[in-house]
Amino acid sequence: MELHTLTIHHLHQLLKNRQVTSREVTTAMLNRIEFSDPRINAFITVAADQALAAAAAADQRIASGDCQPLTGIPLALKDIFLTEGLRTTCASRMLADFIAPYDATAWARLKSQGAVLLGKLNQDEFAMGSSCENSAFGPTRNPWDIERTPGGSSGGSAAAIAAQQATATLGTDTGGSIRQPASHCGCVGLKPTYGRVSRYGVIAYASSLDQVGPVTRDVTDAALLLQVIAGHDPKDSTSVAMPVPDYVASLKNDVKGMKIGLPKEYFIAGLDPDVQRAMDDAIAHLKAQGAEFVEVSLPHTTYAVACYYLIATAEASSNLARYEGVRFGHRATGSQGLIEMMMQTRAEGFGAEVKRRIMLGTYALSSGYYDAYYLKAQKVRTLIQRDFTEAFKSVDILLTPVAPTPAFKIGEKAADPLQMYLSDIFTIPVNLAGICGISLPAQPSSNGLPIGLQLIGRPFGEETILRAAYSFEQTTDWHRTKAAL
């Protein structure tokens, strides 16, 4: 049995029945990382010793009869989650040696169940990017084709699943950063509703859009992880005090009578033919199971990318002001005086894309431009939210592609930021509206690259998209296909 290929729920059964130990599983994962990561570069930090110690502790816990769903399961986190005592870099030179004094809430909840942390995963610096190329620690490669990017920004979180280096991972999604890499790497990626999961201890990119979510091998694992990380956190004022439903119980193979909307603005002429084919195939599968499809319209879709790049960068320009070398992180040496030290620190510590977005956002908030850019973008955001509210009056969920194309090649879009920004065109509106979306493997491209299918739900409608995703997964084998490494 290849332990590194198993799901959370499968491993849980084995651990619970004492058929394997967490130490065995963790060792298998660490071996797999050692074997594959020189080619993939999914990890920024591998915490082998701590992981083995945590696995031993989990085994003791299991031996005492306490085996929670995540006890002893080896996980890895995007390097945007603060982990006490283990460095958190956010893939930036700015934080290359930063060791946080506290744990992010999402990780703390998993840790309290006895989950094992294998290490920290690569990403675009400060979550700014769609390809994992903007990392101070080098690009992550797509396990399905190492000439291609895994997507981004949670590229490491998806690549580690595809390369079978971790049983499950957490990522963050600000404009598609979980769903797009999940799509490119053939895994399941869930972006919960804004406010469902605490952002405390997650390094902020764009606070009104950032949301934590799981990247997993199948839908059941996504539900299992969400179950643990969801819920109100008194330390995050924007986390919502709504009861957390039983997500695992919502996983029924039943879409009979479910009304699924197809937003016409997402099925445009010129959509990659492989993506179109994957969507047609998925629609056929769900229809066969009894779902009903109707066309809906989200008329303001076309403004979403522009709106996103104003709001996200405005918030980022402020969120990243704290990195100036005074209290933590990188500090430039040899500068004369305070202002020069701050400027030099930021010049050295941030990469090009981060600087580009800070400048964009600073501009959008500046006196004389605020109304025309930031305020206008907020108004457009309201219109985009209304589009979804309208659509959800007649349908239960929406079905769309995740990305316009399968994974692109490393370097292909790196020189053209605008092309890169457009790769998030189908995922960004979900963040702007604050609703939930899931990406899951659909029919691959003609040359064997994974293609993701996106299901979008109402605010706090995770159960419904999980149920539809689970039903789809039951009729397909795409999620079982493995990248050859």
Partner 1 sequence: MNYQPVIGLEVHVQLNTQSKIFCGCSTRFGAEPNRNTCPVCLGLPGALPVLNRQVVESALMAGLATNCAIAHRSIFARKNYFYPDLPKGYQISQFEQPICEKGWLEIQVEGQPPKRIGITRIHMEEDAGKLVHGLGNGSGVDLNRAGTPLLEVVSEPDFRSADEAVAYLKQLHQIVTYLGICDGNMEEGSFRCDANVSVMPVGSATLGTRAEIKNVNSFKFVKAAIEYEISRQIDLLSDGGTVVQETRLFDPNTGTTRSMRGKEEAHDYRYFPDPDLVPLVISADWVERAEKELPELPTVKRQRFITQFGLPEYDAEVLTASRPLAEYFEETAAFAHNPKAAANWVMGEMTRTLNDSGRSIDDCPVPPRRLADLLHLIDKGAISNNIAKKVFELMWQSGKEPAAIVEEQGMAQVSDSGAIEAAIDQILAANQGQAEEYRSGKEKMFGFFVGQVMKAMKGKANPAMVNELLLTKLKG
Region from 1-9, 82-90, 168-176, 397-405 binding partner 1, contact rule CB under 8 A:
82-90
Tokens at 357, concatenated: 């977005």
Buried b (16+ CB within 10 A) or exposed e, 249-261: eebeeebeebebb
Three-class DSSP labels, 65-85: CCCCCCCCCEEEEECCECECC
CA dihedral angle for residue 313, residue 315, residue 318, residue 324, rounded to 10 degrees: -60
Pick from 26, 149, 169, 317 the residue near partner 1 by CB under 8 A. 317
Phi and psi angles of residue 357, each rounded to the nearest 5 degrees, phi first: -70, -35
Region from 96-104, 163-171, 433-441, 454-462 binding partner 1, contact rule CB under 8 A:
96-104
Q: Binding of partner 1 at residue 345 (CB under 8 A)?
A: no
Q: Which of residues 229-258 bind partner 1 (CB under 8 A)?
A: 234-238
Q: CB of residue 268 vs partner 1: minimum separation in angstroms?
A: 31
Q: CB of residue 237 vs partner 1: minimum separation in angstroms?
A: 5
Region from 13-21, 324-332, 430-438, 468-476 binding partner 1, contact rule CB under 8 A:
324-332
Catalytic site includes residue 78: yes
Phi and psi angles of residue 350, each rounded to the nearest 5 degrees, phi first: -100, 145
Q: Binding of partner 1 at residue 379 (CB under 8 A)?
A: no
Q: CB of residue 212 vs partner 1: minimum separation in angstroms?
A: 11
Question: Which residue reads 């202002």 in tokens?
Answer: 339
How far apart CA 462 and CA 135 sit, in angstroms, is 31
Q: Which residue type does 422 have?
A: L
Region from 97-105, 185-193, 271-279, 463-471 binding partner 1, contact rule CB under 8 A:
97-105
| Shorter beta-carbon distance to partner 1: residue 204 or 410 | 204
Pick from 297, 366, 389, 419 the residue near partner 1 by CB under 8 A. 366
What residue ranges in 272-413 does DSSP mark as E strands?
292-296, 397-401
Residue 184 CA from chain centroid, whole number: 12
Catalytic site includes residue 153: yes
Identify whether the C-beta of residue 483 lies closer than 8 Å to the C-beta of residue 143. Answer: yes
Measure Cα distances from 471 to 253, 259, 370, 468 in Å. Answer: 4, 14, 46, 5
Task: Count how many residues are written for the chain.
Answer: 485
Q: CB of residue 71 vs partner 1: minimum separation in angstroms?
A: 25
How far apart CA 193 and CA 181 sit, in angstroms, is 19
**Active-site residue identified among 22, 130, 131, 153:** 153
Q: CB of residue 206 vs partner 1: minimum separation in angstroms?
A: 8
Q: Binding of partner 1 at residue 336 (CB under 8 A)?
A: no
| Shorter beta-carbon distance to partner 1: residue 294 or 326 | 326
Taking alpha carbons only, the member of 194, 394, 377, 412 closest to residue 292 is 394
How far apart CA 110 and CA 75 sit, in angstroms, is 9
Q: Give the single-character DSSP code of 145.
A: B
Instruction: Count residues binding partner 1 (CB under 8 A).
Output: 43
| Shorter beta-carbon distance to partner 1: residue 131 or 319 | 319
Residue 206 CA from chain centroid, whole number: 14
Q: How many CA atoms lie within 13 A of 321 on its CB side?
A: 8
For 304, residues 6+ apart whose C-beta sits below 8 A from its C-beta are: 384, 425, 428, 429, 432
Pick from 137, 374, 388, 426 the residue near partner 1 by CB under 8 A. 374
**Active-site residue identified among 36, 92, 177, 445:** 177
Q: Which of residues 169-228 bind partner 1 (CB under 8 A)?
A: 199-204, 206-208
Q: Is 58 exposed, middle or buried, given 0-12, 13-18 or 19+ CB atoms closer than 10 A?
A: buried
Q: CB of residue 102 vs partner 1: minimum separation in angstroms?
A: 6
| Shorter beta-carbon distance to partner 1: residue 373 or 392 | 373
| Shorter beta-carbon distance to partner 1: residue 8 or 204 | 204
| Shorter beta-carbon distance to partner 1: residue 256 or 322 | 322
Binding mask 457-476 for partner 1 (x = CB under 8 A): --------------------
Q: CB of residue 366 vs partner 1: minimum separation in angstroms?
A: 6
| Shorter beta-carbon distance to partner 1: residue 201 or 437 | 201
Catalytic site includes residue 111: no
Taking alpha carbons only, the member of 304, 354, 311, 346 closest to residue 329 is 346
Residue 282 CA from chain centroid, whole number: 22
The partner residues of 292 in beta bridges, in order of sequence, read 259
Q: Where are the alpha helices (DSSP H) in 243-337?
A: 273-288, 304-319
Element (H, E) at 11: helix 8-16
Pick from 5, 276, 318, 481 the residue near partner 1 by CB under 8 A. 318
| Shorter beta-carbon distance to partner 1: residue 100 or 395 | 100
| Shorter beta-carbon distance to partner 1: residue 69 or 349 | 349
Q: Which residues are catalytic?
A: 78, 153, 177
Q: Which residues bind partner 1 (CB under 8 A)?
A: 82, 88, 90, 95, 98, 100-102, 104, 199-204, 206-208, 234-238, 314-315, 317-318, 320-322, 324, 326-328, 338-339, 342, 362, 365-367, 370, 374
